Amino acid sequence: MKKFGIISLFCAVFLLSCQGSKDVVNQIKLISFVNPFIGTDGPGNTYPGATVPFGMVQLSPDIGIPGWDRIAGYFYQDSIISGFSHMHLSGTGAGDLYDILIMPTNSRFSKRIEANNFKPFSRFSHEKETASPGYYAVDLLDYGIKAELTATERTGVHRYTFPKDDKTQVQIDLGYALNWDSPTETYLKVVNNTTIEGYRKSTGWAKDQRVYFIIKVSKPFKDYQIFKNDTETTSPVTDKNTKIILNYATSENEQLVLKTGISTASIEGAYKSLNREAPNFDFDVLKNEAENKWEKQLSKIDITIADETKKKIFYTMLYQSMLAPTLLSDHDGNYKGANDQTMNAKGFDRYDTFSLWDTYRAAHPLYTIIHPDRVSDMINSLLAHYKETGLLPVWSMQGNETNMMIGYHAVPVIVDAYFKGIKNFDTELAYEACIKSATDHSRQIDTYMQLGYVPVDEKDENWSVSKTLEYAYDDWCIAQFAQALGKTEEYHAFLKRSENWRNVYDSKSTFMRPKLTDGTFVKDFVPKEYSAYFCESNAWQYFWSVQHDVEGLTEIVGGAEKLDKKLDLMFSLNPLPEDKLPIFSTGMIGQYAHGNEPSHHVAYLYDYIGKPWKTQKLVREILDTQYKNEPNGHCGNEDCGQMSSWYVFNALGFYPVNPAQGIYAFGSPLVDAAVVHLENGKKFNVKALHNNAENIYIQSVTLNGTIINRNYITHKEIMEGGTLVFTMGRSPNKESNNTMATSSKIYN
More confident residue, 399 or 745: 399
- DSSP label at residue 515: B
Q: What is the structure's pLDDT at 21? A: 39
Other beta carbons within 10 angstroms of residue 252's beta carbon come to: 10
Pair 290, 346 in one domain:
no
Q: Are residues 193 and 266 in the same domain?
A: yes
Domain around 255:
32-298
Neighbours of 561 (CB within 10 A): 12
Instruction: With respect to residue 263, please indicate whether it lies within any of the assigned structural domains.
Output: yes
CA pair distance 579, 581, nearest whole angstrom: 6
Q: Domain check: are 77 and 164 in the same one?
A: yes
DSSP assignment of 52-105 equals: -TT-S--BEEE----SGGGTTS--TT--EE-EEES---SS-S------SEEEEE
Confidence of residue 310 (pLDDT cuts 50, 70, 90): very high
> Does 13 have pLDDT greater than 90?
no
DSSP letter, residue 251: -
- Number of structural domains in the chain: 2
Average pLDDT over the chain, rounded to an integer: 95
| pLDDT tens per residue across span 406-462 | 999 999 999 999 999 999 999 999 999 999 999 999 999 999 999 999 999 877 668
Read off the pLDDT band of 747 (50, 70, 90): low
Q: What is the reported pTM?
A: 0.95
Q: Are residues 281 and 424 in the same domain?
A: no
**Residue 184 domain-assigned (yes or no):** yes
pLDDT for the residue 746? 72
Has residue 361 been placed in a domain? yes
- 652: in domain: no
Q: Kindly report, residue by residue over 454-496, the tens digit of the pLDDT.
A: 999 877 668 999 999 999 999 999 999 999 999 999 999 999 9
Average pLDDT over residues 641-656: 98
Element (H, E) at 184: strand 182-192
Residue 54 has pLDDT above 90, yes or no: yes
What pLDDT does residue 457 have? 84
Residue 471 and residue 407 in contact, taking contact as beta carbons nearer than 8 Å: yes
Cα 553–Cα 557–Cα 559 angle in degrees, nearest 5 = 85
Q: Bridge partners of 326?
A: 352
- Mean pLDDT on 355-379: 98
- Same-domain status, 284 and 392: no
Please give the pLDDT value at position 22.
Answer: 39
Pairwise CA distance, residues 274 & 27, whole Å: 32
Torsion angle, alpha carbons of 263, 265, 267, 271, to 10: -50
- What CA–CA distance (Å, rounded) separates 349 from 728? 43
In this structure, are 127 and 224 located in the same domain?
A: yes
Rounded to whole angstroms, how far apart are CA atoms 689 and 687? 6
Which helix (H) or strand (E) is 385 found in, with range?
A: helix 372-389
CATH number assigned to the domain comprising residue 170: 2.70.98.10
- In terms of domains, do 177 and 283 share one? yes
Same domain, 220 and 351: no
Where is the domain boundary, 298, 318, 349? 298
Q: Is the pLDDT of residue 745 over 90?
A: no
Domain boundary (407, 440, 473) is at: 440
Indicate whether 599 belongs to any domain: no
* Chain centroid, CA 732 distance in Å: 34
- Helices 363-370 and 410-419: crossing angle in degrees, nearest 10, is 30
CATH code of 408's domain: 1.20.1050.60
Could you tell me if 49 and 168 lie in one domain?
yes
User: Phi/psi of residue 167, each to 5°?
Assistant: -125, 40
Q: What is the predicted pLDDT for the residue at 461? A: 65
Give mean pLDDT, residues 12-38. 66
Residue, of 6 and 414, whose pLDDT is higher: 414
Q: Taking the CB of residue 694, how many other CB atoms lie within 10 A of it?
A: 11
Q: How far is CA 300 from the centre of its chain?
A: 18
- pLDDT above 60 (res 23): no
- pLDDT grade for 748, boundaries at 50, 70 and 90: low
CA 286 to chain centre: 24
Mean pLDDT of the region 604-628: 98
- Residue 25: per-residue pLDDT: 43
- Confidence band for 6, pLDDT divided at 50, 70 and 90: very low
Whether residue 747 lies inside any domain: the answer is no
Nearest residue to 81 (alpha-carbon basis) of 143, 32, 10, 20: 143
Q: Which of 140, 145, 171, 148 is nearest to 247 (CA)?
A: 171
Q: Which of 298, 322, 357 is the last residue of a domain?
A: 298
Largest CA distance in the chain: 102
pLDDT of residue 143: 98
Check residue 300 and report its DSSP letter: T
Q: Give the three-class secondary structure for 500.
A: helix
Q: How far is CA 361 from CA 10, 74, 221, 596, 643, in A?
A: 58, 27, 50, 12, 10
In a shared domain, residues 113 and 257: yes
| 250 and 176 part of one domain | yes
Residues 389 and 292 in one domain: no
Helices (H) and strands (E) in the chain, counts: 18, 38
Determine, yes or no, domain membership for 212. yes
Residue 617, pLDDT > 70, answer yes
**Domain membership flag for residue 610:** no
CB atoms within 10 A of CB 224: 17
State residue 10's pLDDT score: 40
